[in-house]
Chains A and B, each alone.
Chain A
Amino acid sequence: MLTNQDYASQPDDLLVKSAQKGDMVAFEELVARHRDKIYARAYTMMRNEEEALDLSQEAWVKAWQRLVQFQGDSSFATWMTRIVINLCLDQIRKNKRQRTESIEHLDEELGGVERQMPVINPNPTEGLERGELRQRIDEALDKLSHEHRTVLVMHEFEDLEYKEIAKRMKCSIGTVMSRLFYARRKMAALLAGLKREREQ
């Protein structure tokens, strides 16, 4: 019989094998180990604490139900992150059906705005402390639409290719490229704006 200390010292793959046989204590250890990362991914996408909590909880329940399907092709953390991303995408789609799109948002979707933005030079992130840069990135992410933030999260944080993002977002590769381009340009402008605000 393993003690709690034993579980804490086990690597993920062994805990997964135990959990696949129905060991809930092993699964609890996996939850404790990765819960912040899964919550952070949900929060980055949804920008709402309550929704992020619900979705990360739902992701863990789904993971338990589908654990036998996990073959170890990727790390357990990556597999879990994919589950929570899919749940967030479903939720974003549901929310989108309920809200009216603003004219500004439609303009972003059509992809004309980013061509008129001046190129940011020099790099506004240069010389910043890591903590401050993270805070600025977080503030800038908050100002993006769900679609642009999602494409940025999947490309920059999850390192997914255009094709994979298009599949998950149920859109064309061209749309992914346009959204990513807009999101990056908007981020650069927001980071430069935040820098100017702090300097004043």
Chain B
Amino acid sequence: MNHEQQLQLQAYLDGELSDRESRKVTDLLASNEEARNLFSELQFTRTALVENEPEFKLPESREFFWSKIQREIRQTEAAPVPTAAGVSVFAWLQRYLMPVSVVAVLAVIGIFAMSKSQPTQTAYAFGEIEALNGDMDSITFRSEAERMTVIYLYDNKPEVGAEVTSDSSI
């Protein structure tokens, strides 16, 4: 008899098996003496325990034991206890808002880091302007309403000229 069969035997005794599993165990009991002896041992041990639970008396008088319980109850009742509503709101905050705020903080950090590492279109455009010939200077005007940027280029000398670009070219 293997250990699995031994445990099945016990489960049968405890009424924990399905009908199909119970039939397997009854077949085993009918054909195997070792199984019958083990079943008998498990059975008398269980019966002895169920019917003869040891009894113990509390070694303190009724009055003394109660006085300790009463004192403990009064102490715990005197201490401030969070209200059920307070507890549930805190639990809700902990469960839902804290993860959301963590995600929000991470998102802000991410956006900030990206804005630092990647120049915006406008900044890139200004970068191009700054790379112009050192003898030249420029004044840039951006109109959001017209979706247009006007870059006024001029030489350090008093000559003037103008160049107009649209968004698609910047």
Residues from chain B with Cβ under 8 Å of A181 in the complex: 6-7, 10, 42
Q: How far is the CA of A35 from the CA of B60 in the complex (A)?
A: 10
Please tell me if the beta carbons of B52 and A57 are within 8 angstroms of each other in the complex: no
Interchain CA distance A180-B46 in the complex, whole Å: 10
Is A56 a contact of B58 with CB atoms below 8 Å?
A: yes
Given contacts A39-B58, A53-B59, 19 further A-B contacts (CB under 8 A): A24-B70, A31-B66, A40-B54, A65-B73, A115-B3, A119-B38, A133-B48, A133-B52, A134-B55, A135-B54, A137-B54, A141-B54, A155-B14, A162-B11, A177-B10, A177-B11, A185-B41, A185-B42, A187-B45
Which A residue sits closest to B50, measured CB to CB? A156
A interface residue count range (under 10 / 10 to 19 / 20 to 34 / 35 or more):
35 or more
Between B49, B70, B72, the greatest number of chain A beta carbons within 10 A of the residue's beta carbon is seen for B49
Give the interface size bracket for B toward A. 35 or more
Does A20 make an interface contact (CB < 8 A)?
A: no
Task: Given A53-B59, A60-B69, check contact A184 B48 (CB 8 Å).
Answer: no
B49 touches A177 (CB 8 A): no
Q: Which of A30-53 contact B (CB under 8 A)?
A: 31-32, 35-36, 39-40, 43-44, 49, 52-53
Bound CA–CA A42/B110 (angstroms)? 56
Pick the contact of A121 from B14, B41, B46, B55 — CB < 8 Å? B41
Question: Closest CB-CB distance, A102 to chain B, in whole Å?
Answer: 23
- Measured between beta carbons, the chain A residues less than 8 angstroms from B44 are 123, 125-126, 188
Interface of chain B: mostly helix, strand, loop or mixed: helix
Evaluate contact between B34 and A61: CB separation under 8 angstroms.
Answer: no
Find out whether the CB atom of A137 lies under 8 angstroms from the CB atom of B38: no
Q: Name which of B3, B6, B7, B56 has the most chain A CB atoms within 10 A of its CB.
A: B56
Nearest CB of chain A from residue B98's CB, rounded to whole Å: 27
Do A31 and B65 have beta carbons less than 8 Å apart? yes
Q: Which residue of A lies closest to B59 (CB)?
A: A49
Residue from A36, A120, A156, A162 within 8 A of B57 (CB atoms):
A36
In the complex, what distance in Å separates the CA atom of A142 from the CA atom of B62? 27
Q: Which residues of B come within 8 Å of A, CB atoms?
A: 3, 6-7, 10-11, 14, 16, 34, 37-38, 40-42, 44-46, 48-50, 52-60, 62, 65-66, 68-70, 72-73, 76
| CB proximity of B119 to chain A, nearest CB, Å | 57
Q: Which single residue of chain A is at the shortest CB-CB distance from B60?
A: A53
Query: Is A161's CB within 8 Å of the partner chain B?
Result: yes
Check A178 for interface membership: any CB of B closer than 8 A: yes
Q: Is A138 an interface residue (CB 8 A)?
A: yes
26 pairs from A and B in contact (CB 8 Å cutoff): A35-B62, A40-B57, A43-B56, A44-B54, A49-B59, A52-B56, A53-B58, A53-B60, A64-B69, A130-B52, A137-B48, A137-B54, A155-B14, A156-B46, A156-B53, A162-B11, A177-B11, A178-B7, A181-B6, A184-B10, A184-B41, A184-B42, A185-B42, A188-B44, A188-B45, A191-B48
> Shortest Cβ distance from B51 into chain A, in angstroms?
8
How many angstroms between the C-alpha atoms of A130 and B51 in the bound complex?
Answer: 9
Q: Does A28 contact B (CB under 8 A)?
A: yes
Smallest beta-carbon distance B24→chain A, Å: 16
Q: Shortest Cβ distance from B148 into chain A, in angstroms?
A: 70
Asked if A121 meets B10 with Cβ closer than 8 Å, knowing A31-B69, A57-B69, the reply is no
A157 touches B49 (CB 8 A): yes
Q: Could you say which residues of chain A place their CB within 8 Å of the CB of B37?
A: 119, 121
